[in-house]
Structure 1
Amino acid sequence: MTVEERIKGVKAAVTAALAALTALWGWFGWLIVAWVVCMAIDYLTGSAAACKAGKWSSALAREGLWHKAGCVAAVTISGILDLVVGHILGGMPEAALPFAYTVFLCPLVVVWYILTEVGSIVENAGAMGAPVPAWLKRMAKALRDQVDQKLGD
């Protein structure tokens, strides 16, 4: 097998995986992907910023991973609640909505976590020495605060 054939095989596998994700979850799947990517970037930039400051420790790194695991648990619970609400609404014709209820809580929780991760990534970039526009910091915080205000803190 040539290198080009291997590259085509990898491209086909990635394309198939992305198509399957889109078919399975549609836009919500991509929201999850964005969140996972943001978590990874936050962890990597946080570790890099700590290394630069000479403050990296395995205990703090482990604490960060526990924090991420807690976020995964919260998103999982919100997804389960979405399933329960959808099941309840499906079994109660008198409570029928004018639209099909698929997900509501989980995307809100995921967006909130994405905004949290973005704010942390911006802070980490500044700690690593990158010039970060003040308006970007304010925007990341304002977006998260807006979600908190609209949905009740």
Structure 2
Amino acid sequence: MNQTTLNFAVGTFGTIITYAFGGWSELLSFLVIAMLIDIVSGVAASMKEGKGISSAVGFKGSVKKVFMFVAILLAHRMDVLMNSGFIMTGAIYFYLANELVSIIENYGRLGLPLPPQVKDMITALKRNNDDRQARS
């Protein structure tokens, strides 16, 4: 790849990121890191449980993560439209909390020690989520 092509690709990628998210922030970086840790810990937990790796489960998880970024993009565009700065931040924190709970669940599946309060919180969150899905 020559220098001009590389410069064009990087410039295009930067333009897309800036349009989609108003630039890159530490909060977005933290979300991406949490997503990567969730993926790795989920794969490790599945391997430990003897479930192996399923391409269907992996595809479903990947699609969910892509749509998280689509929702964040929409939240940023609403911020631009309404001249605010909190909708995208709120969306990122929402998805970040979701990723962190998933990481903690995966750590529990791996047999790593978790404080009882954390286990109780995860059980309550799962129960609430199951109740909501049952009503849908």
Both structures adopt the same fold (TM-score exceeding 0.5): yes
Deviation at 1:136, TM superposition (A): 2.9
Q: 2:55 aligns with which of 58, 70, 73?
A: 58
Are the counterparts in 2 of residues 31 and 110 from structure 1 also a CA contact under 8 Å?
A: yes
Ranges in structure 2 where 5+ consecutive residues have no aligned partner: 1-21, 129-136
Structure with larger Rg: 1
**C-alpha spacing 1:79/1:138, structure 2 compared with 1 (3 Å):** farther
Shift of 1:74: 0.7
Aligned pair 1:71/2:53, yes or no?
no
Q: Percent identity of the aligned residues?
A: 31
1:41-86 deviation digits (Å, cap 9, x = unpaired)? 1111111111111222111111111111111111111011111111
- Are residues 76 and 64 of structure 1, via their aligned partners in 2, closer, same or farther at CA, if it must alter by over 3 Å? same
Question: What amino acid maps onto 2:42 in structure 1?
Answer: G
- CA distance in 2: counterparts of 1:63 and 1:120, whole angstroms: 15
Q: 2:80 aligns with which of 60, 80, 83?
A: 83
Aligned to 1:90: none
* TM-superposed deviation, 1:132: 1.1
The one-letter amino acid of 1:42's match is: D
| TM-score, with structure 2 as normaliser | 0.67
Question: Given that residues 105 and 122 in structure 2 are in contact (C-alpha distance below 8 angstroms), is that contact kept between their aligned partners in structure 1?
Answer: no
Alignment TM-score, normalising by the size of structure 1: 0.60
Query: Cα 1:81–1:65, aligned 2, differ >3 Å: closer, same or farther?
Result: same
**1: CA distance between counterparts of 2:30 and 2:38?**
12
What does 1:102-117 align with in structure 2 at a 5 Å threshold?
Answer: 103-117=85-99
Q: 1:57 to 1:36 in 2, by over 3 A?
A: same
Q: Structure 1's 140 and 38: CA in aligned 2 closer, same or farther, altered over 3 A?
A: farther
CA distance in 2, matches of 1:34, 1:138: 25
Q: Runs ≥4 in structure 1, deviation > 6 angstroms? A: none
* Distance in structure 2 (CA, Å) of the matches to 1:141 and 1:37: 24
Distance 1:138 1:32, change over 3 A: farther
Within the candidate set 42, 52, 69, 1:46 is matched to 42
